[in-house]
Chains A and B, each alone.
Chain A
Amino acid sequence: MTPEEQNFMRKINAEEKIEPKDWMPDAYRKNVTRQMSQHAHSEVIGMQPEGNWITRAPSLRRKVVLLSKVQDEAGHGLYLYSACETLGISRAEMIEALQKGTAKYASIFNYPTLTWGDVGAIGWLVDGAAIVNQVSLQRTSYGPYARGMIRICKEESFHQRQGYEALLVLAQGSPEQKQMAQDSLNRFYWPALMMFGPHDSESAHSAKSMEWKIKRETNDDLRQKFIDQTVPQIEFLGLEHPDPAIKWNEERGHYDHGDIDWEEFYSVINGNGHCNRQRIEHHVAAHEEGAWVRDAITAYNDKKNANKIKNVA
């Protein structure tokens, strides 16, 4: 090991954060850049399935709540893109990678939101799963990422609560409403479990990420946490658990669960989900429609700078 590498590993082992101007191995920089940009893309693409319901929310209260939540997600995207830029990648490069498909985002957002119940299920389960992951990432080794996570976690709790509350109303409503809640739970439960990524034995980036403390807990441990916390929440709604194999295991102190359909997971990741194409097309369209704003800012700056030079001369 070179002295730089030694110093880097000393910080990692001592639970110290790595800061933007510190020396770090290229592979560490690449790994954190990949994970953080993927996280940022997920926040931004994640606005689409919920945004789909803003104009159709069942009441004014639900509408402003949903609007606020989606607005938060845009903010989370911004925090994460900015934090990621401290590693040397530009915003434009990240956006291009997303639009060309070389960078991924959370697969869950390739599922459609067919009913109002889905908006509740997303807040409760998808944000719920994200929180489990993000709480763990508050201890990630890259300083700007860790601080971003602390900020984001503070804002996430409302996302999960508003979702659960919306679903609780449905679950306590008419038989049709209760059925809608059940249907949303059934469709989003398994994809939410997949959000934690493949089993540790299959995960390409896991070992190094754990060694460098980019990730603090394994995919399977985080998933188990989520499974455990979700069981009583489903029970309280009076809904049927989508996993018939769910069973408390006294010895392990955890719930045992059924197998995840990994074929579906890889199929959706590789572009064959219901909405993959639509999500990226929409992103490209929104980006292009906003081009005039970026152009106007550049033109204004150019003009201001030109005036400054004139005044000096």
Chain B
Amino acid sequence: MTTEKLELFEVFIRSKRGLDHKHVGSLHAEDHAQALEYARDCYTRRSEGVSIWVMKSNDICASQEDDAESFYDPSDDKPYRHATYYVLPDPVNNM
């Protein structure tokens, strides 16, 4: 069997109810239903999850590491967005 004709899917697993789905890896599959079954077989052999998401890798639009500078630069000179920027005297510092 060749994987060339199969699509790549990304797999996300929620390890416990209440937590976010986390990316765990990817796999090749024919369609969503098959990807879900493969994901179960591959990634949750030890009951690692309570819920699985699969999505086509092609559907992911990702930022590029190379763009990181221009992407995140604007936050560098805004330390006032952090709580620690505001120095308060000890008696009231617990907010």
Contacts and interface: CB of A to CB of B under 8 A. Distances in A.
Contacts of A228: none
Interface stretch (A156-164, A180-188, A257-265): A156-164
Nearest to A147: B20
9 contacts: A16-B18, A19-B14, A64-B80, A158-B80, A158-B86, A161-B83, A162-B86, A164-B86, A164-B88
Nearest to A233: B92
Contacts of A128: 95
A147 B16 CA distance: 13
A19 B51 contact: yes
Contacts, number: 52
Interface in B33-90: 51, 78, 80-83, 85-86, 88-89
B81 to A, nearest CB: 5
Contacts of B81: 68, 72, 158
B17 interface: yes
A16 B80 contact: no
Given A68-B80, A68-B81, 18 more contacts: A11-B17, A17-B18, A19-B17, A61-B80, A64-B78, A68-B78, A72-B81, A158-B83, A158-B86, A161-B86, A161-B95, A164-B86, A164-B88, A165-B86, A229-B95, A232-B92, A236-B89, A236-B91
Contacts of A146: 18
Q: Is the interface of A mostly helix, strand, loop or mixed?
A: helix
Contacts of B85: 158
Which 7 pairs, one residue from A and one from B, show the smallest C-beta to C-beta distance? Answer: A17-B18, A161-B86, A157-B83, A158-B83, A16-B17, A236-B92, A17-B17
Contacts of A229: 95
A165 B51 CA distance: 45
A245 B88 CA distance: 28
B59 to A, nearest CB: 15
Q: Residue among B81, B88, B91 with the most chain A CB within 10 A?
A: B81
Interface in A9-39: 11, 16-17, 19
Interface of B: 14, 17-18, 20, 51, 78, 80-83, 85-86, 88-89, 91-92, 95
A61 B79 CA distance: 11
A161 B88 contact: yes
Interface in A177-217: none
Interface string A46-88: 0000000000000001001100100010000000000000000
Nearest to B81: A68
Contacts of B86: 158, 161-162, 164-165
Interface of A: 11, 16-17, 19, 61, 64-65, 68, 72, 128, 143, 146-147, 157-158, 160-162, 164-165, 168, 229, 232-233, 236
A168 B17 CA distance: 43
Nearest to A154: B83
B95 A143 contact: no
Contacts of B14: 19
Nearest to A157: B83
A236 B88 CA distance: 11
B73 to A, nearest CB: 16
Contacts of B83: 157-158, 161
B82 to A, nearest CB: 6
A120 B24 CA distance: 45
Contacts of B78: 64, 68
A233 B95 contact: yes
Contacts of A143: 17-18
A179 to B, nearest CB: 21
B47 to A, nearest CB: 16
A157 B14 CA distance: 28
A147 B85 CA distance: 25
A164 B91 contact: no
